[in-house]
Amino acid sequence: KQEVTQIPAALSVPEGENLVLNCSFTDSAIYNLQWFRQDPGKGLTSLLLIQSSQREQTSGRLNASLDKSSGRSTLYIAASQPGDSATYLCAVNRMNSGYSTLTFGKGTMLLVSP
Amino acid sequence: DVKVTQSSRYLVKRTGEKVFLECVQDMDHENMFWYRQDPGLGLRLIYFSYDVKMKEKGDIPEGYSVSREKKERFSLILESASTNQTSMYLCASSFRGRYTEAFFGQGTRLTVV
């Protein structure tokens, strides 16, 4: 059974710092990995999608990497801002009864202080 | 932009009531999903659907059923709501295939009293 772990569970940094969020998964047989952002009481916003054949994806100040063989992904946030405060979730797209579905980590809660 | 819309942001229902949570997507996605999110447990898949009138059980289907009569709409049904079904419910959709991106709705916070 696929398990997804995110470390740290919570992170507090001052504005302007570069930071790294970690995601690990137990079964490397994935199709892709997706990073999401969730604001309190809201739904999930897709940030980046990395296919299993890719090593990294970039969007603005965000960079996500994938090492499928070791079961790891990182989300790098450059020059953090208070508006980046949210919970960040990673999810792996895996086979489930012949179909592909997402399995989620429990998230990293990020607080960026002014 | 992809739009996944859940019919209610907040719902309060009584124990034993039949509850319908509705989800509509406007991107002609074949796949639709229902998750619930609880503190300490994360997001867990309840049911999913890959086509009209088709459904598959996820990891925690007990106490729930679903309906997909039209491609754009996926309903989650709590036949007899219980307090342990108090949760945040999230709907998602994606195109068919293994390598597609999932998009989520804004969530429904359901409280069963």
Residue-level pLDDT at A2: 86
Q: Are residues A102 and B45, on separate chains, in Cβ contact within 8 Å?
A: yes
Query: How many Cβ pairs closer than 8 A exist between chain A and B?
Result: 64
A chain contacts of residue B45, beta-carbon cutoff 8 Å: 96, 101-103
> How far is Cα A81 from Cα A105, in angstroms, rounded to an integer?
24
Q: Are residues B99 and A41, on separate chains, in Cβ contact within 8 Å?
A: no
The minimum CA-CA distance between A61 and chain B, rounded to whole Å, is 20
pLDDT digits (tens, 9 = 90+) for B58-106: 999 999 999 999 999 999 999 999 999 999 999 999 988 777 889 999 9
Q: Which residue numbers of A have CB closer than 8 Å to B's CBs?
A: 31-32, 34, 36, 41-46, 49, 51, 89, 91, 93, 96-97, 99-107
Q: For chain B, where are the E strands, in sequence order?
A: 4-6, 10-13, 19-25, 31-38, 42-49, 56-57, 65-70, 73-78, 87-94, 103-104, 108-112
SS3 B39: coil
Q: Are residues B101 and A49, on separate chains, in Cβ contact within 8 Å?
A: yes
pLDDT digits (tens, 9 = 90+) for B10-56: 999 999 999 999 999 999 999 999 999 999 999 999 999 999 989 99
B chain contacts of residue A36, beta-carbon cutoff 8 Å: 104
> In this structure, are strands A62-67 and A56-59 parallel, antiparallel, or unpaired?
antiparallel
Distance of CA B69 to CAs A33, B4, B51, B72, Å? 30, 17, 9, 9
CB A61 within 8 A of CB A48: no
List chain A residues with pLDDT less than 70.
96-98
> Which DSSP letter does residue B89 get?
E
> How far is Cα A67 from Cα A30, in angstroms, rounded to an integer?
11
The minimum CA-CA distance between B89 and chain A, rounded to whole Å, is 9
A chain contacts of residue B38, beta-carbon cutoff 8 Å: none
> How far is Cα A30 from Cα B105, in angstroms, rounded to an integer?
24
What φ, ψ does residue A84 adopt, rounded to 5°? -80, -10
Q: Which of A2, A102, A103 to mutate to test the interface with B (most CBs of B within 10 A)?
A: A102
